[in-house]
Amino acid sequence: MIRVVVRGAAAAAALLAFAGPAGAQSLLASRGLGYPLEPLDARARGLGGLTTGLAEPVPSFINPASAAGIPAAAFVVAVQPDHFSASGPGGVDASGSTVRFPLLLGVFPVSQRLAVQVGYGSYLDQHWQAQQTDSITLSTGKVEVNDRFVSSGGVARLQGGLAYRLTERLSLGVSADVLTGAAHDSTVREIGGLQTAESGVTNTYSGVMGGVGVRWQPGTAFSASAALHGGGRIRAHSESDSTSLETKDYTSPVRADVGASGRLNERTVLAASASWTGWSSLNDELAGSGGARDAASVTAGVEYTGFSFARKAIPLRLGARYAQLPFRWSGADTAYPTERAISAGLGWSFGGRAAMLDAAAERGWRGGSAAGIDEPYWRLSFSLQVLGR
């Protein structure tokens, strides 16, 4: 137990030390409450973004029941380099890259039936910036100004959960999430020949939500899971120089996930999941920025463990994903964007399976012509899971 905590903490500290400020994963980070991020590890990404449904006990931010029956303490950390380029009408032509850490999660078995998990996961990304060159008229004549608005930050989830193996076939889980984070909005105006003006506002986000999960394993060849999160509200508080400016409450959307996996043969597992998030509950609250809709997604993937290298089994994964995104890119007369992706991944165990390194590459397309933006992207995922045995 102590060893896994130490290893996990070391990995987390090392990653965070090098993390630095993250850039955006999408231009859509500038819309609504930001670009939704899923706290998934690289194995799930390789399977198309599978949110739940795997048979064996694994740490999961989505389904708190997923960890039930885990044989030893585990710590998983994921890192996600990303690059995208976006284009669209109105002079939209931008690209960005970032390295993000969507998941830090530890699971500790208390008994053969009960496990406790605690973790930190990404939720909403608000990294983006806008600029505009213009001119203003002073008593001395027209002077050029260059304005830049930078939003840096987002919302994350701090989660604690319990997983309980009720029977050999049925496991249950509950979780509580504290929403936390902040976005610093800074504005810079450069005026030719004059001093630059800078001001900033910090928007802090807070809230709580709860979650429940279930995993059902009627036999060794099939497993089904489901999870539900939601409740509470997201409170945004804006302040500058310790002066409170604005406070706004948003409904915390309900999210439902279902997933299943089946073993086609000894070496092949087929998995699929679907999720739905009730973002439309924020439609009125976000009416000024284009509203919000409910967003559903489906994923499917296959994992093959028959390949080996250096006498080690190397699991290979393929997956695909289709998702609706909740916030419009443009005005109310445009369609909501979607996200499509295909992915591939593999895994490598170390130290007598004490550590597992997974990697995934994802090629995706966001937006759509009716949505007013096209944003193809590459997303890599790496995750390290360390077991305390």
Partner 1 sequence: MLPSSVRARAVLALLPLLAAACTDDTPTLTGDPFFPGGGRPVTLELIVPAAQFMQPLGVFQGYESGRTFNSLVVANQYQGVLNAHVLQNYDVPDTLTYSQGGVTKTDAAYSIRSARLVVAVDSLASFRAPITTLQAYRLAQAYDPATVTWTLAVDSGAVHTPWTEPGGTRGALLGSAPWAHATSDTIVVPLDTAAARAMRPDSAGGVLLATAQAGTRLQISSTVLRLELKPSNGERDTTITLNVQPGTSGFIFTPDPALAAGTLSAGGVLAARTLFGLDLDQPLPGCAPPTTCAAVRLKDVDLNRVSLLLKPLPSPAGFDPLQPLPLTLWTITEPELGRRAPLGHLAGDPQLIGQALSQYALFTPGDTLVEVPLTLQAQDAVTRDTLQLNFALLGEAPPAGTTSGRTFGVARFDAQPRLRFVYTLHTRPELP
Question: What's the rounded Cα separation, in Å, for the pair 141 and 148?
Answer: 22
Classified as helix, coil or strand, 293 is coil
Q: Interface residues for partner 1 in 123-162 (CB under 8 A)?
A: 127-132, 134, 136, 138-139, 145, 147, 149-150, 152
Q: Interface residues for partner 1 in 232-261 (CB under 8 A)?
A: 236, 238, 240, 245-246, 248
Cβ–Cβ under 8 Å, residues 189 and 197: yes
Determine which helix (DSSP H) or strand (DSSP E) holds 359, and give its type and residue range: strand 355-368
- Pattern 359-388, binding to partner 1, x per CB under 8 A? -----------------------x-x-x--
Which of 50-58, 122-130, 158-166, 269-277 is the region at the interface with partner 1 (rule: CB under 8 A)?
122-130
Q: In terms of CB distance, is 271 or 386 closer to partner 1?
A: 386
Q: In terms of CB distance, is 236 or 258 closer to partner 1?
A: 236
Residue among 97, 180, 281, 283 that touches partner 1 (CB under 8 A): 97
Minimum Å distance from CB 328 to partner 1? 12
Question: What's the rounded Cα separation, in Å, for the pair 58 and 38?
Answer: 16
Minimum Å distance from CB 220 to partner 1? 29
Give yes or no for residue 187 binding partner 1 (CB under 8 A).
yes
Q: Which residue has the tokens 């939601």?
A: 230
Q: Interface residues for partner 1 in 259-298 (CB under 8 A)?
A: 286, 288-289
Minimum Å distance from CB 29 to partner 1? 8
Determine which helix (DSSP H) or strand (DSSP E) holds 381, and give its type and residue range: strand 373-387
Residue among 17, 242, 265, 332 that touches partner 1 (CB under 8 A): 17
Which of 87-95, 103-111, 211-219, 266-274 is the region at the interface with partner 1 (rule: CB under 8 A)?
87-95
Which residues is 329 bridged to in the sheet?
none
Question: What's the rounded Cα separation, in Å, for the pair 18 and 21?
Answer: 9
Count of Cβ atoms closer than 10 Å to residue 249 Cβ: 13
